[in-house]
Structure 1
Amino acid sequence: MGNNFSISLSLDPIINRCWDCATGQASYICNLEDNLHAFKNEVEELKAIRSDLMSKVRIAEDEQQLKRLDQVGLWLSRAETLINDADQLIVQSPQHVEKLCMGGCCSRHPRSTHKFGKQIATILQEVKGLKEKGDFSDVACKPPIPSANKRPSDPTVGLESYVNQVWSCLQKEQVGIIGIYGLGGVGKTTLLNQINNKFHDTTHDYHVIWAVASQDRPIERVQDEIAKRIGLSNEGWKSIEEKAADIFNVLRKKKFALLLDDIWERFDLTRAGVPLPTQGNGSKVIFTTRRRDVCCQMQPNVDNNIRVECLPPGEAFKLFEEKVGSETLRMHPDICKLAEAVVDECAGLPLALIIIGRAMASMKTPPEWEYAIQVLRQSAASVFPGVGKEMYPKLKFSYDCLPNERFRSCFLYCSLYPEDHPIEKDQLVDCWIGEGLLDEHTNLRNARNQGHYIIGSLIDACLLEKGPSNDSVKMHDVIRDMALWIAGESEKEKFFVKSGVQLKEQPKANKWEEVIRISLMDNQIESLYEILACPNLQTLFLGRNHLEVIISDFFNFMPMLRVLDLSHNSNLRKLSVGIAKLVSLEHLNLSSTGIRKLPVELKALKELKYLNLEWTNHLEMIPQQLISSFSKLQVLKMEGCDCDCSLVLEEMKHLKYLNVLTITFRSASELEKALVFNKFFSCAIEHATLQHFRGSRSLNIFDLANWQHLKSLILLGCMDLEVKIESNVIEGAGCFHSLRFLYLNDCNQLRDASWVIFAPLLQQLLINGCKNLEEVISEEKLGEVTKYKANTNLFSKLEVLNLYFLPKMKTIYCHALPFPQLEKIKILGCRMLKKLPLNSNSAKGKRLVIVGREEWWNDLEWEDEFTRIAFLPSFKSRDL
């Protein structure tokens, strides 16, 4: 045993490795000049390849809008690095070549020359390798489609709540289609832009597509925009159906949100190739339109159709200030106040606020602003010609898209009424009929139905708005200005409109002979002394003035006049006999005038179809045979007329075309005479008043039930009249199926009004000063009559309930009712009424307003605490 060991080493491998190393190091020096020459050539070739490749990439990116391939980008990046490194080495090469000696086989500084030579050799190989990889058949491809493209959008004012409303709707799984509608220029496209950009800025899994549906070829245009957005080539398509098939095959695999701007009629998604949104596919369609009816056709669920309203005053002023400039508003202390008046004239329409704001930015003094306001109240186009050209054509597109000239003429007619003036629907339609704007109908009711259809269409087109009541409409101020601008530009529709501008004298015009419609409504004109030569005039509105005198010859040169409105001139005591010259007159409105008698010369009005004498409280005499001489009369309105109606009832029998009658009965004999002619009057009476009724102490209400078209009934000051429901006739009695309005005033014999259960469509019920009324509907009487024809779904259409000064009133009805349409209850002077017929299900989904005294409200009894709390926000205090 020992610690001895032996080592056996071979020297050959070590010697070989040292030799290889020595010769390798020497080769970097010996081959330096040759390598440098090859290096420079290879680098130049690499630069040329890079230059050619960059040219291809630029063309693809800039001209073809493609995205360079990642591998091309990587190659160019590596080439850039190598070329930079190579250029640095080439710059350093002369100093290393100078160090060579012994024919280039040695160096005076071998270590540094060896290191440099090794760098050249290494990069040379990299350059060669990179050159080999620089041959690309494709350098770019279509870029990946982003989920949403950002759209340019101006800062919004007043749209934030709508953005939130639409976005909230989008989050609901059951909502697939959302409609956004409203007046032209109200901000619908801006709102849709905001929704698009919210998609862009939010994490989601939708593929967002924006498309504009124009009136010209809407489906093809939308298809083209969808195809572009989802990366489809439109080459080779020959038909809508082929496009639809390709689009459908792509979209059915995606969760998409299609934003459709500015559609004018129902857009057929299926025909365009768009899969219908369902809870299963999770897709959405959001569209904008100016037409409410398009919303309903696209999306019948009204909760998912959002109307964009004009801005409230505060927001409107903020937007106006942005456009006019705060510096301008601070130029003078009075300008800011004047600016509020300008904003009022724009009536909250963003388009008007923006355009007029820009136009007024240069006005720096109060007189300029005062003048602008004065003229704005007549027409924006007259003070700012540029404004008319910029704003009205954008709004006029809604007018151009109306179905035909009849609709357009009916729309323009509405501009005759003063600014902000509620227009009664029936009154408007009767004027349209009088001027011959509607189709010829054998039946007046059919003509009226057509008129109401046109009104509905104008509301759907957002060219008219719903008025303060269901029976009225109104026209937005800017839309009215547009209508007057259109009429001013038209060859056929020449208007002279100075309504509601505080005129005190008869105005003048240059070319009366061209005018077809004149409106001087709602002024302070006292006399008409100058003759107007208007051979083409068809409508003349003179209502709501202070007229006292109209000269006899005033109407001499109006042979074509068909509609004349002199209503609400209470100082007009005498009607000029010259009115007999109006041989074409069909519509004459004398309501609420102070006229004491009708001239017998009116018999010359052989074409008269409409005569309104309502609330002529001083009319004492109607010449015999005058009414019957109007053989074409269709509408006779005499409600509130002070003349004894029995004198004309006999004559009415001869009016074979009479369709509409309104009348006041002041005695049992007058009513009996009408009931004798029941077959004739049952189809004509629309409004009836029983006032200070004499000659009877009782009335069987079902004597009136067979007046088939009775819309309103007023019992006024019938102190001793007892209204009965006689059980022996109830089974065969008719039903008040047309009654919408009931007013009971000072009827002291009434204990209840249970017969209203026979008026299933009643919308307004007003009861005032009936001292002995204890309940509206008696449960006991209800039980007696429900087995007959009564409406068991009580007050299902009631919108307004007013109860005033009913000292014995204890209950409206003893049980809670649903009141699905109720909007307002007003209770004053009913101290014994301690409970309302409401529970937690009443007026569900409606914002009910309850008006009364604070003391009365605090004493009310409720079905439970939950109901009390639920209706707490509904109360509005009204002190007597």
Structure 2
Amino acid sequence: MESIFNLVWRHTEDEQVGMIGLYGMGGVGKTTLLTQIHNNFNRARNDFNLVIWIVVSKGHKIEVIQDKIGEKIGLFSGVWKRKEQHEKAEDIFRILNTKKFVLLMDDLWEPVELTKVGVPIPDSRNKFKIVFTTRSEEVCGHMDAQKKIKVGCLTWDKAWNLFQEKVGNETLLLHPDIPEHAEIVAKECGGLPLALITVGRVMACKKTPQEWKHAVQVLRRLASGFSGMGDKVFPLLKFSYDNLPSQKVRSCFLYCALFPEDFVILKDDLVYFWMCEDILDEYGNVEEAKNESYHIIGTLLASCLLEDEGDSVKMHDVIRDMALWLACDLGKEGESILVDTGAYHAPNVAKWKNMKRVSLMGSGIKSLDETPRSPNLLTLFLRGTFLERIVNDFFDFMPTLQVLDLSQNVFITQLPTRVANLVSLQHLNLSYTCIKWLPVELAACARLKYLNLEHTLLLDYVPPNILSNFPLLKVLRILDCGSSNRVFFYNEKTMIDELQGLKHLDVLSLTVGDTSCFRNLDSHHILVTCTLTLCLNGEDYVNPSSYFDLSDVAMANMKYLDTLQIKHMVDVYSTWITRLENPDCFLGLQFIVVVNCTNLKNLEWLVFAPNLIRLHCSLGCLSTLAVLKQVISLLKERKSGGIA
């Protein structure tokens, strides 16, 4: 694999490339790379007769940059320094335009207006070169860089070599147990050169295994307590945080630190969290909130404070530590948070008092037996713990709580009835829990905008008309909800009336078991207006009253249908679906799951799903090689542009 230096150097030799932007998070080695490029220009044979290096400080002034360049090209004098900006620009342009120059600019925080400075713009005719470093991909765009190159963290081999170099073999070989602990310490640095160098130098004098074990404990528990992290590494990284465009974006960044280390965070989850905590502007629908959220996520990605993972994002370990240092240790950001994702016991109730956000996600806590007083708490993450019991009055003194995530708690069988005290609650996620009934007291949470009951397979009781108590509901997820598909559809007409009463509903996921139920939903236009995940599941219907034809789904014209699951529908089939008059019936469909549908032999209807990303079929559906070939042929045809 080509090294980052070789890649950059190759572009400097390309006559079609005049401007190169190197971007990456703080401490990743951008300045070191630019130094190597500078040295190589001075050392290697090339056609350039002038190589200029300048550091562009934050909040730069044009005159300061002019003075730095003027000094490099022999213009800097008392008389010249007193000239007006436009006069300096003319002088700089006159000299640089007659030379073949390379301008290396380090540490740009904002775009530099080169014409105002007097620097000629590189093109294929003049063959001038400009290479700059920045923490922001957006700066690369504003500078019209023909090549934008991200400087990433080191691979493990290079990171380990750098760490060993800073620690020294003498220390590493003092005890046979030290190398093992040293590797763990190095991995905690996440390949970030600044952290590797800082931590490595500190550990160079640690001569016992116990000291190395302690270093691991500190880095994992409270990295800011490690020498050099809180006073060197984090302050340098904080510049990127300070440079974010608004307090709203900074708050969204700190929110991402609530998740465990190396956690892959779904972008859409962030949309709903931020929307329901009222971080975003007030919007009439989810789509507008999603647009703003994705704009914020894009800003954080461009600032190298998050890492893109497709439909998800990740936060680098050291960046997360810096965020926790900001929110927890400094306590100056108004974002007081308590994060203990490795806890085995609930935090002392005294710790909850001033917290705005608490995350015990993925912890080993088994019970919450005390009643904390949290007058300012906005978000509480209890996802994926070992919780078996929540004392009934646990939520009594959380009047401002807006986001509660209890998902993926397989040992939770009931929700405390005193949940009714959460009068500000807007987001409730109970998905993948083993709750058996919803308390009727939940109706008091009238401000709910998001309710997720997906995959609550043991749920067998939902209070009648419960949904009518949530008039502000925007997102309702009841896919695979209940021990039977009829836990919500106990009374089909009542359920349809409830859904129709949700005037703000934008996102809906649900499971339907038979044709008549589906047609009733369709006839009331409930399936047309929402972004939809639809599961057709006949598992609970031993003797279906009628077959299920996929043309029913297509004719419903669910243009916002995103995900379609067809499970255990032994009588489902597709007939004239390929002859539909409306070719846009599955236009938004991206994900299809087909499980145990032995009569579904024809998949030609996939031609009506041009945006399909993923198709999952069990062998029970594609029982013949011919059908499998049919799918592959369709996908190949689409890839080559044959399917409109």
Higher-Rg member (1/2): 1
Is 1:463 equivalent to 2:313 in the alignment? Answer: no
User: Which among 406, 410, 421 is matched to residue 570 of structure 1?
Assistant: 410
Aligned counterparts of 1:471 and 1:710: Cα–Cα separation in 2:
18
Deviation at 1:561, TM superposition (A): 0.7
Task: Give the SS at the match of 2:298.
Answer: helix
Match of 2:206 among 344, 347, 363: 363
1:751 alignment counterpart: 601
Name the CA distance, whole Å, in 2 between partners of 1:481 and 1:704.
52
Measure, in 2, the Cα distance between the counterparts of 1:705 and 1:186: 52
Relative to 1, partners in 2 of residues 1:624 and 1:733: Cα closer, same or farther, differing over 3 Å? farther
Q: Deviations over 1:822-859 (max 9, x none)?
A: xxxxxxxxxxxxxxx9xxxxxxxxxxxxxxxxxxxxxx
SS in 2 for 1:578: helix
Q: Which residue of 1 aligns with 2:529?
A: 683
Deviations 1:599-628 (A, max 9, x none): 000111111111111111111111111111
Q: Distance in 2 between matches of 1:218 and 1:711?
A: 50
Tell me if the contact between 1:543 and 1:567 (Cα under 8 Å) persists in the aligned partners: yes
Q: Indicate how the Cα distance of structure 1 residues 327 and 602 shifts in structure 2: closer, same or farther if over 3 A, else same.
A: same
Q: CA deviation at 1:705?
A: 6.1
The residue that corresponds to 1:656 in the other structure is: 503
- 1:490 matched to 2:340: no
Aligned AA for 2:7? Q
1:530 to 360, 370, 395: 370
Superimposed CA distance per residue, residues 544-594 of structure 1 (whole angstroms, 9 cap, x where no aligned partner): 011111111111111111110100001111110011111111111111000
Deviations 1:411-430 (A, max 9, x none): 00000000000001111111
Equivalent residue in structure 2 for 1:711, among 555, 558, 562: 562
Is there any run of 5+ residues in structure 2 with no aligned partner, and where?
A: none
Distance 1:204 1:532, change over 3 A: same
Q: How does 1:331-346 map to 2 (within 5 A)?
A: 331-346=174-189
Matches of 2:635 and 2:478, distance apart in 1: 40
Q: Which residue of 1 aligns with 2:239?
A: 397
Q: Larger relative contact order (C-alpha < 8 A, sep ≥ 6)?
A: 2
Secondary structure of 1:258's counterpart equals strand
Counterpart CA distance in 1 for 2:96 and 2:577 is 69
The one of 120, 140, 149 aligned to 1:275: 120
Change (3 A) 1:636 1:773: farther
* Residues 1:725 and 1:323: Cα distance change in structure 2 (over 3 Å): farther
Post-superposition shift, 1:178?
1.3
Letter in 1 for 2:632: I
* Alpha-carbon offset, residue 246 of structure 1: 1.8
CA distance in structure 2 between the partners assigned to 1:707 and 1:811 by the alignment: 23
C-alpha contact (below 8 Å) 1:498/1:519 kept by paired residues: yes
Cα contact 2:534–2:561 (8 A) shared by 1: yes
TM-score by length of 1: 0.68
Aligned position for 1:221: 64
Q: Go from structure 1 to structure 2 and tell me whether the alpha carbon gap of 1:267 and 1:574 turns closer, same or farther (over 3 Å shift).
A: same
- 1-structure distance, mates of 2:109, 2:127: 26
Q: Give, as a single letter, the amino acid of the residue that structure 2 aligns with 1:255.
A: K
Distance in 2 separating the partners of 1:671 and 1:358:
66
- Provide the secondary structure at the position in 2 that maps to 1:428: helix
CA contact under 8 A between 2:375 and 2:400: conserved in structure 1? yes
Tell me, yes or no, if structure 1 residue 187 matches structure 2 residue 33.
no
- Hey, what's the Cα distance between the residues in 2 that align with 1:668 and 1:766? 23
How far off is 1:184 after superposition? 1.1
Match of 2:415, SS state, is coil
Deviation string, structure 1 residues 364-415 (Cα, Å, up to 9, x no partner): 111111121112112221233x421111010010000000100000000000
Partner Cα distance (2:370, 2:458) in 1: 27
How far apart are the structure 2 equivalents of 1:811 and 1:624? 44
| Per-residue CA distance 1:242-274 (angstroms, 9 max, x = gap) | 322221111111111111111123333223222
Aligned pair in 2 of structure 1 residues 816, 649: CA closer, same or farther (>3 Å)? closer
Contact 1:213 1:219 in 2 (8 A): no
Is this contact kept in 1: 2:92–2:119, CA < 8 A? Answer: yes
One-letter code aligned to 1:699: L
1:212–1:737 Cα change, 3 Å: farther
Question: 1:489-508 CA distances to partner (integer Å, 9 max, x unpaired)?
Answer: 13311111001x1x222122
Q: Give 1:603-642 correspondences, 5 Å limit.
A: 603-642=443-482
Alpha-carbon separation, structure 2, partners of 1:701 and 1:218 = 65
**One-letter amino acid matched to 2:535:** T
Residue in structure 2 matching 1:767, options 602, 609, 617: 617
Structure 1: how far apart are the matches of 2:202 and 2:381?
34
Task: Tell me which moved more, 634-643 or 757-766.
Answer: 757-766
Flag the 1:724–1:298 CA change in 2: closer, same or farther, 3 A. farther
Identity %: 45
How far, CA to CA, are the matches of 2:197 and 2:223 in structure 1? 13
> Helix, strand or coil for the counterpart of 2:53?
strand
Match of 1:558 in 2: 398
Partner of 1:514: 354
Any idea what SS the aligned residue of 1:715 has? strand
The aligned residue for residue 698 of structure 1 is 549
* 1:288 and 2:136 are equivalent in the alignment: no
- Aligned position for 2:290: 448
**1:719 CA drift (Å):** 2.9
C-alpha distance in 2 between matches for 1:551 and 1:691: 36
Residue of structure 1 equivalent to 2:513: 666
Q: Which residue of 2 aligns with 1:741?
A: 591
Question: Structure 2 residue aligned with 1:244, among 67, 83, 89?
Answer: 89
SS in 2 for 1:372: helix
- Residue identity in the other structure for 1:347: G
User: How many residue pairs end up in the alignment?
Assistant: 624
Distance 1:705 1:220, change over 3 A: farther
User: Partner of 2:574: helix, strand, or coil?
Assistant: strand
Structure 1 residue 210: deviation in Å? Answer: 1.0
Residue of structure 1 in register with 2:321 after alignment: 481
The 5-angstrom pairing of residues 67-216 of structure 1 reads: 161-206=3-48, 207-216=50-59
What SS does structure 1 have at the residue aligned with 2:394? Answer: helix
Following superposition, the deviation at residue 703 of structure 1 comes to 2.9
Query: Aligned to 1:285, what secondary structure does the other structure show?
Result: strand
User: What is the identity, as a one-letter code, of the residue corresponding to 2:134?
Assistant: T
Aligned-partner residue type, residue 355 of structure 1 = T
Does the CA-based 8 Å contact 2:286-2:506 persist in structure 1?
A: yes
Where 1:505 maps in the other structure, the secondary structure is coil
Contact map agreement 2:522 2:556 (CA 8 A) in 1: no
Residues 714 and 242 of structure 1: is their aligned pair in 2 closer, same or farther, counting only changes over 3 Å?
A: farther
CA contact (8 A) 1:214 1:221 kept: no
Classify the secondary structure of the residue corresponding to 1:163.
helix
Deviations 1:12-32 (A, max 9, x none): xxxxxxxxxxxxxxxxxxxxx
Corresponding residue of 1:504 = 344
CA distance in 2, matches of 1:252, 1:162: 30
| Contact 1:251/1:274 (<8 A) preserved | yes
TM-score normalized by structure 2?
Answer: 0.92
Q: Could you list the per-position Cα deviations for residues 425-469 of structure 1 after superposition, in whole angstroms to 9, with x for gaps in the alignment?
A: 1111111111111111122211121011101110111100012xx
| Cα distance change on mapping 1:519 and 1:811 into 2, 3 Å | closer
